[in-house]
Amino acid sequence: MVKSILVKSLLTLSLACLLPLAHSEDTLSQGVEKLSPEIRKLLQKEMVAIETAMKEIVFYNASGNTEKISQVAKQIKESFILKQSLTSEQKHQLHTLLPSDFIQQDKQFHYYAGMLQHVAAKQKPELISFYYGKLFEACSSCHQAYAKHKFPNFNHSKIQEDHEH
């Protein structure tokens, strides 16, 4: 009895927290679409490079090549394209047009890539799995918030009622 009341109030509480979140995400996801076509092109190139890197890491892990994992993770950390090709004006645009939460998620993503680089260099298999998992989660987490236009499956997500195209 006590338990079910607790569960109920927890559910209500979490719903109350999620609803405004769902709402703000709808508006936030437009941030990316405001970027200039040049920056978006770079961002997309970067994403494709990251996707390839993630697949490579699966293979290097399966073949026990921790040195290669570390190298690839370092490339992700240092941003294949984005950081290296942006002018300072474009960097400014990125920081002013995108919500701070996006910047935060991006930072976190690169932090995990740095950790993966580090633990792979130290040859720690269980930590390699851990940080790979963190990168893996980061993809869908950021896409759900900012790339639904690209990945419409996230529109069917349980938390969100989204009536965008």
Instruction: Out of 8, 23, 40, 95, name the contact with ligand HEC by CB under 6 A.
Output: 40
Is residue 135 within the footprint of ligand HEC (CB under 6 A)? yes
CB 43 within 8 A of CB 35: yes
Is residue 143 within the footprint of ligand HEC (CB under 6 A)? yes
Toward ligand HEC, which CB reaches closer, 44 or 87? 44
CA distances from 1 to 10, 15, 158 (A): 14, 21, 28
How many CB atoms sit inside 10 A of residue 57's CB? 23
Is residue 81 within the footprint of ligand HEC (CB under 6 A)? no
Q: Kindly state the smallest distance separating residue 21's Cβ from ligand HEC, in Å.
A: 17
- The tokens describing 44, both together, are 């997309």
Q: Kindly state the smallest distance separating residue 102's Cβ from ligand HEC, in Å.
A: 6
- The tokens describing 97, both together, are 């047009």
Size of the site for ligand HEC (CB under 6 A): 21
**CA dihedral angle for residue 95, residue 100, residue 103, residue 104, rounded to 10 degrees:** 150
Residue 84, Cα to own-chain centre: how many angstroms? 19
Is residue 8 within the footprint of ligand HEC (CB under 6 A)? no
Span near ligand HEC by CB under 6 A; candidates 17-25, 78-86, 126-134, 142-150? 142-150
Closest Cα to residue 148, out of 162, 133, 134? 162
Handedness of CA 127, 129, 131, 137 (dihedral sign): negative
Is residue 65 within the footprint of ligand HEC (CB under 6 A)? no
Q: Kindly state the smallest distance separating residue 151's Cβ from ligand HEC, in Å.
A: 7
Residue ranges that bind ligand HEC, judged by CB under 6 A: 32, 40, 43-44, 47-48, 50-51, 54, 102, 105-106, 109, 135, 138-139, 142-143, 146-147, 150
